[in-house]
Structure 1
């Protein structure tokens, strides 16, 4: 082994220990051993402990409990979440599979670790015990109290809407993000320190079995899906279905992921889910900001937000302005009919998301609209106009501050052909100030903030940065893939209701985060090490003697 390989091997072992508590070869054996290995149980139990989720649930349980009396649960919150994560990682968290584990697979050591006193019982007994344990969590985090085994009438649906609990919905958001954040915090410190703050956001469908419920305009109709509060998804437009037979029943998970530090640097930072919430399909008024805010509780760095056109279509006070106050800058895509002039203040106009002086020639201001929507100019003419208008652009001076204010500098007008927009004649305007300050002060400024972005639309830089948005789409597909956590399989998410689906997506994202960190550090090591060197036993005792390989039932020795 060369000195370079030795250093890479030492770093790889350290990365794996920080992420999983094991070296690569040990992790593979513990992971593959499944529930029969106490180390496998402890792998996820430690993650639950680090999340703080158990303390949250216990506090909420005390807040909601009407009396201190009652039967003590056989399976506590910690054991329930541990079993749920374990089986999500195994690709099957259905109640019967967990019951099989509890009745035939767990060792006495694992029962002790999970603090489950009862050891006896048939698979049916364990099914009902585990069902009750999961439902204790669901009751604490369910915004609507509705039956899950019968169809809800229109009157029942109206009552459920009126009894909606924002507090319990907030609890579910806290629980979901506490779990996935515990996994992200396993990211090795030296990799964590390289993060530049870039994120991408998107929503992904969690399809469920059954017909889609009527759309939000038809609240006076009976529900046709046993998951009464689920929505209808359509592939068209904003994905907000009306309940047609061509629509799909389900929920949407709003996900925020970290992306590489710059275009062309795919190995600069791992793609991890860092913000998560759940909503009915197409109803994204509040979910995007909630997911972003949960991301910011984990990372202080602020870079760019890559988003599709659904997000800059939101009201500015619900997403664009709050994210600017958090320190983010945006990279948006627009509908073709929304390109061109988008707003104006004093001597400044907003064109395709960027600020320009108002004396820019009209043909340059309408270039994207003419090419993309009107189809009145050809591609070559369009790109020539994009290049020419760069000279008229105001440049950013720093990032937005905590109040959403940001300064820009004007170009040198003496070197530009300036046209009076009112008369169409050439003029020589004089600026009172060399800088322009944009802040959320009035409707005109909020109109600009709604569509404002950093890079000139459809420029090489814009294409490069907007391309990073594909990472959130691929991450959502990764969660759904049957070779990973199989979140896309409705039969693996049979329990109905908002909280059931929320717990499923949170567990999938948590498990996926650990896997993606392991993959990232492994790929980094592979650039230097040979396959056999990845699994080589390098851990030593205090005398420098190499430790024996870990068996699936043998805990790792402390160094």
Structure 2
């Protein structure tokens, strides 16, 4: 079939999209372009990637890698932290001054649909050449591979070359992230104590997922299935969040619901084919009002900022991906603080997560299931209560405070008071942590935080210090009445 349409004619919907983008266009100052160029030169990405985007034969590229990276940086600055190649094209071709375009050797294109499409093709080809140099996968995308082919390609891959690509990808990702938080660097240095939250969120891939264990992989072979049962309710809406219930209790609840409500529909699992994006996020946890009454940003409050990201198959290697981000943050100069993570990190092997993050200087903060609360372990006479080592004679109501809260035996105000009362019983650091995160600790009475007859020197230091009763050890078999 022969079409009589003009081959240079842009489709109507595309034409309208380009018109809308032109209407939103703003001319960036030479100072903004110079600042972006300084960030690009500081990143050292140009010498790292130049050899992979250079053409050895044929016509030379119309756009340099340095110019493309400057366009990406400017796009993050003036496009809400996002990179869209259409916006990058519009900035480089029409959004900066003629002097800046001449300095960056940007070719001149007419400001109409056909001119934009020609420049867009140049940007897109260069970007994909750069993307190929930072792709750490041994499997080709956009084609279906049999599992046999995928196994052979993975087995024959050059692991050193893939590791080098992964390092380039990390540097490029950090370049984009640093560009997005650059306007807030002073506020970040002033108001952040280094505390972070690490979590993963699913991102849908464009490819259609294939059956797990089937003969073929999807056209995005590195993606995987994300499955989530139930809903995403806020855990604060219920005293005991479903996610915190032990597996046995969840099964009991499901059987009870099935018996009591035969006509109720079973909760549907949520399926998604894509990736898990592990994110390291910081914010000013002291305040919630990041906006003023007129909906403008509050200049005195630090908003939530993403400082690190890593992609992987959903549910795969959460500890590995989180630790990779944290190590890179340290190399980039970010100081460690408190670190919050969910059960995916808390249930990792100690040598894979807990010990390495402590060695990096982070102080972990975790959530526990209700069957993991209270006394968790004992060693050398000390008891671990919800992740912290305490004196073995700490009163049972203090040990069971969180268990009692979730069992509705006490209210939140009482729980807060009991948690505060735990502090004098906490074992105190005797020295700094070693490179593996191990640390020697001392008795709270020896540290001057409590009074104990076993430590005569600690007695008589004042009524403000609690008096430890050593006889409580091994006698607190049941929770006494509050």
Alpha-carbon distance between aligned partners in 2 of 1:362 and 1:47, rounded to the nearest angstrom: 59
Kept in 2, the 8 Å contact 1:302–1:328? The answer is yes
Does 1:290 pair with 2:284?
Answer: no
Does 1:37 pair with 2:89?
Answer: no
Q: What's 2:349 paired with?
A: 315
Kept in 2, the 8 Å contact 1:195–1:301? The answer is no
Kept in 2, the 8 Å contact 1:111–1:119? The answer is no
Alpha-carbon distance between aligned partners in 2 of 1:288 and 1:313, rounded to the nearest angstrom: 13
Q: What's 2:145 paired with?
A: 152
Q: What's 1:459 paired with?
A: none
1:172 Cα offset (Å)? 0.7
Gap change, CA 1:221 and 1:389, over 3 Å in 2:
farther
Kept in 1, the 8 Å contact 2:28–2:95? The answer is no
Kept in 2, the 8 Å contact 1:206–1:253? The answer is yes
1:335 Cα offset (Å)? 2.0
Q: What's 2:227 paired with?
A: 234
1:410 Cα offset (Å)? 1.8
Gap change, CA 1:54 and 1:346, over 3 Å in 2:
closer
Among residues 41, 45, 55, which one is paired with 2:44 in the alignment? 55
Give the secondary-structure state (helix, strand or coil) at the position aligned to 1:227: coil
Matches for 1:130-149 after TM superposition, within 5 Å: 130-149=123-142
Give the secondary-structure state (helix, strand or coil) at the position aligned to 1:282: coil
Compute the RMSD of aligned alpha carbons: 4.1
Among residues 169, 176, 186, which one is paired with 2:166 in the alignment? 169
Alpha-carbon distance between aligned partners in 1 of 2:421 and 2:185, rounded to the nearest angstrom: 46
1:349 Cα offset (Å)? 1.9
Among residues 247, 251, 254, which one is paired with 2:271 in the alignment? 247
Alpha-carbon distance between aligned partners in 2 of 1:380 and 1:99, rounded to the nearest angstrom: 58
Gap change, CA 1:269 and 1:129, over 3 Å in 2:
closer
Does 1:378 pair with 2:381?
Answer: no
Does 1:129 pair with 2:150?
Answer: no
Among residues 199, 203, 210, which one is paired with 1:202 in the alignment? 199
Among residues 403, 413, 425, which one is paired with 2:452 in the alignment? 413
Structure scoring higher RCO (CA < 8 A, sep ≥ 6) equals 1
Q: Give aligned pairs, total.
A: 381
1:247 Cα offset (Å)? 1.0
Alpha-carbon distance between aligned partners in 1 of 2:476 and 2:176, rounded to the nearest angstrom: 60
Kept in 2, the 8 Å contact 1:212–1:247? The answer is no
1 or 2, which has the higher helix percentage? 1
Q: What's 1:20 paired with?
A: none
1:398 Cα offset (Å)? 7.5
1:177 Cα offset (Å)? 0.9
Does 1:347 pair with 2:381?
Answer: yes
1:176 Cα offset (Å)? 0.9
Matches for 1:78-157 after TM superposition, within 5 Å: 78-87=66-75, 89-90=78-79, 94-95=84-85, 108-117=98-107, 119=109, 122-157=115-150
Give the secondary-structure state (helix, strand or coil) at the position aligned to 1:209: coil
| TM-score (ref. length: structure 1) | 0.57
Q: What's 1:74 paired with?
A: 62
The runs of 5 or more residues in structure 2 that have no matched partner are 1-21, 233-267, 291-299, 445-450, 454-466, 478-482
Kept in 2, the 8 Å contact 1:325–1:402? The answer is yes
1:52 Cα offset (Å)? 4.0
Gap change, CA 1:364 and 1:253, over 3 Å in 2:
same
Matches for 1:384-403 after TM superposition, within 5 Å: 392-396=425-429, 400=433, 402=435
Kept in 2, the 8 Å contact 1:201–1:256? The answer is yes
Gap change, CA 1:46 and 1:236, over 3 Å in 2:
farther
| TM-score (ref. length: structure 2) | 0.65
The runs of 5 or more residues in structure 1 that have no matched partner are 1-31, 426-559
Q: What's 2:175 paired with?
A: 178
Alpha-carbon distance between aligned partners in 2 of 1:229 and 1:84, rounded to the nearest angstrom: 25
Alpha-carbon distance between aligned partners in 2 of 1:275 and 1:36, rounded to the nearest angstrom: 30
1:46 Cα offset (Å)? 2.7
Kept in 1, the 8 Å contact 2:36–2:74? The answer is no
Alpha-carbon distance between aligned partners in 2 of 1:96 and 1:331, rounded to the nearest angstrom: 42
Does 1:222 pair with 2:216?
Answer: yes
Alpha-carbon distance between aligned partners in 2 of 1:223 and 1:53, rounded to the nearest angstrom: 40
